[in-house]
Structure 1
Amino acid sequence: MFILYRTFFGSVAYAPFYILRFPFYKVINVKQTKWYFERTEHPEQLVSTADKLRYYRCGKRLFQSEVADYAGINTSTYLSYESGDRDYYPIDKMKRIANLFDVDILELLDDYNRFLYDGQGKQIRKLRKSMGLTQYQFGKRMGVSAGAVKRWENDRVVIFKSTWEKLVHLAHTIREQKTDRKA
């Protein structure tokens, strides 16, 4: 509280002055919010990380710039997260965003990013060994060098999404072959 005063015809007039602080209601794009909440009743139905980020952000009535500030990234970077232009989302940033949205990080990640989160190296190594292949043989089958396979298995390089899709297809084919052999 402050006291305001002013002189008025030679006398001093006093009045209390209160500063009230309250958040303004944030107007999020109403059309966008309505579309997301009508599109799905449950966020589990959303497939892409970009859609999940938009859904939770709109649900929390946050601006993209606020999420970006909290995650410690530029607003333009966060805009690319929500636009769906990127395949890979850094896990450390996604953990912060999940914390802000008060959800488990796994609820925000699509299948590809969940694969990376669960440790691409150990999963690739497990698949390669289940096939009984060397890194060279596995790389040849995937269309990459043995060095690339080694870097993937040691988590030094993130596998591209297009290559991951080949890997998923290969794993599915192997499972089918094993099932056919048993039958």
Structure 2
Amino acid sequence: MSLPKPPVTRQLLHTRRIECCGYHREDGLWDIEAYLIDTKSYSFPNKFRDSIQAGEPLHALGLRLTLDDNLLIHEATAIIDASPFAVCPEITPRFALLKGLQIATGWNRKVKNLLGDIKGCTHLVELLAPLATTAYQTIYGATKEKREQEMAEHPDKKPALLDSCHALDCNGVVVKTFFPRFYTGATDKYQD
């Protein structure tokens, strides 16, 4: 996949890599992990680390959430292996406060209230959005039979996934094809 060629010559200065992985544990729970690494293409001085060399991580941090099938968090662990300030790793224990929360509607708001601003690390908090999506993608795919059984038992219950994005608009072709019971067919798709 690639974007169109840029119209002018340019120089790479900063790279942020985010990787998210989902694992099914032998105890039936799920581990969802996210990692963030920031690097620069140049070296620069740093008061707490003397200097940060080109290609050396400015930030290297990660999160692991242990979840059940209902996206309820049983455990949360955060690490900061590289940061520009010596105090950054001190905040990681606060991410254990995620235990007991459920990834659901309002997730980003809950996270911001709990760990936003000085109550957390900006970069770890940023990781929680793609981590939540990865959790959903991991667990949703692996629990298809269970979902199908629940839909058969409760056929009038609208799946939470519907109306969550453009493709899953209840007015659209995807819902019409895969969830015809919930297809509305309204013509005014975008009401501002």
Compute the TM-score of the two structures, normalised by the length of structure 1: 0.27
Whose radius of gyration is greater, 1 or 2?
A: 1
Q: Which has the higher strand share?
A: 2
TM-score (norm 2): 0.26
